[in-house]
Amino acid sequence: MKDNPSPLEKSTDRRGFIQKAGTLAAGAVVAGETGLWAPRVQSQEKKKLGYALVGLGGLSTNQIAPGLEKTEHSRLAGIVSGTPSKIEKWKAKYNLPARNCYNYDNYDQIATNPDIDVIYVVLPNGMHPEYTIRGAKAGKHVLCEKPMANSASDCQAMINACKDAGKKLAIGYRCQFEPNNIECMRLAREKVFGDLKMIDAGFGFRIGNPDQWRLKADLAGGGALMDVGIYALQACRFLAGEEPVEISAQETKTDPMKFAEVDESIVWTMKFPSGVLAYCSTTYNFSGINRFSAHCDKGWFSLDPAYSYGGIKGRTSKGDVIEKPVIDQFANEMDNFSKCILEGRESQVSGEEGMRDLKVIEAIYRSIRTGRTVKV
């Protein structure tokens, strides 16, 4: 149901992206870490955890299902959709058994299906809590798209449900599995350019169809900030390696009709405990901002574009180019979660990580509402 034409692909050639990603994924299988968990499984097939996708919109169709064809430890095992015609199409295309196809009414029966190990919730944001919690109660691990929910309290309920069920929860922060973003995390963490001092980050695009769920408060929870500003926020947080403590924000609505229910454009600043400052932006009103820069004691590094599905590249103050091979971010994200499950580890993009972003997002909205610098 993530049916918005995505701005994320704009900065790469789609065909080239898929071809490159396929090539690399094939290589990755050969070089994979199968040895680590081989004793736990019997067959090649059994090595792959079965994923059921909940919500068959654009993101599932164009990104996640293709990603699952490049995974080493994950496979498409089932689907959940409210649209019978979509179920028929997917069943045929991916050769899925009828018993692995669910609608929203019989979704809870997934509890008895041994083919399904993981639920991937790809619904509108406001539906994430219900389908995560029902998935956990059905005894499945849950991977949930970002933003995790419309509020931090909903995030807490999702975390509690997965804990109560003894199941793992992860959030679909694909950039944390993207090599150029990973390289920038390394440059920050290893202080290659000295101590981090300041970050600028922004992500936005011009949203199309005015009737889509992304512009409805109950389904989306917010506008540009929830949908794409969250990438800039994530970047600030993973570069700083700490949580912002004070936030100030301003918003603008130049089209109050279209953006009657959600935010159009926001700029905000953040202060971190170490003294690092960040200045950020997000918008649904124009395309072109898709970057971050990390300014350190002895230089800087930057990605622009930073958050696309492909074509991510960057520069440093040394004159170096950052341009790691294009991989399938969704494949990497899912395989990482599968390995966490198989090895009994917490995901680095856990429910707690998702909730941290929502706390900051709530602080940004609070600052706009109150006209004050607020504590997170």
Residues making contact with its own copies (CB under 8 A): 197-198, 200, 202, 246, 248-254, 265-271, 274-281, 283, 285-286, 288-289, 293, 295-297, 299-300, 317, 367, 371-373
> Strands of 118-121's sheet, edge to edge?
101-102, 74-80, 49-54, 118-121, 141-144, 169-171
The nearer residue to its own copies, 277 or 342, going by C-beta atoms, is 277
Tokens at residue 341, please? 């499950």
184: nearest Cα among 315, 273, 308, 297? 315
**Residue 49: count of CB within 10 angstroms of its CB:** 22
Task: Output the smallest distance, CB 250 to its own copies, in A.
Answer: 5
Nearest 10 degrees: CA dihedral of 92, 93, 95, 96?
-80
Please identify which of the residues 47, 86, 146, 313 carries the catalytic annotation: 146
End-to-end Cα, the chain, rounded Å: 32
Name which of 152 and 280 has its Cβ closer to its own copies. 280
Q: What's the min distance (Å) between Cβ of 204 and its own copies?
A: 8
Alpha carbons 117 and 108: distance in angstroms, whole number = 14
CA-atom Rg of the chain in angstroms: 20
Interstrand relation of 299-303 and 290-296 (parallel, antiparallel or unpaired): antiparallel
What is the Cα–Cα distance from 213 to 203, expressed in whole angstroms?
A: 20
146 is catalytic: yes
Candidate list 107, 120, 231, 307, residue with the active-site label? 231
Residue 120 appears among annotated catalytic residues: no
**Nearest distance, CB of residue 176 and its own copies, angstroms:** 24
Per the listing, tokens 């956990």 go with 136
Separation CA 353–CA 360 (nearest Å)? 11
Least Å distance, CB 117 to its own copies, is 43
CA 353 to CA 171: how far, in whole Å? 8
The nearer residue to its own copies, 271 or 359, going by C-beta atoms, is 271
Q: Report, in Å, the least distance between residue 6 CB and its own copies.
A: 19
**CB neighbours of 21 closer than 8 A, spacing ≥ 6?**
70, 310, 326, 327, 328, 331
Which has the closest alpha carbon to 33: 274, 289, 335? 335
DSSP state of 124: -
Question: In whole angstroms, how close is the CB of 368 to its own copies at the nearest point?
Answer: 9
Q: Which is nearer to its own copies, 80 or 363 (CB)?
A: 363
Whether 269 contacts 277, CB under 8 Å: yes
Q: Judged by CB, which is closer to its own copies: 219, or 276?
A: 276
Residue 20: CA atoms inside 13 Å, Cβ hemisphere, count?
A: 15
Please identify, using beta-carbon distances, which residue of 267 and 342 lies nearer to its own copies.
267
Shortest Cβ 150–its own copies spacing (Å) = 24
Nearer to its own copies, 286 or 346 (CB): 286
**What residues are labeled active site?**
146, 231
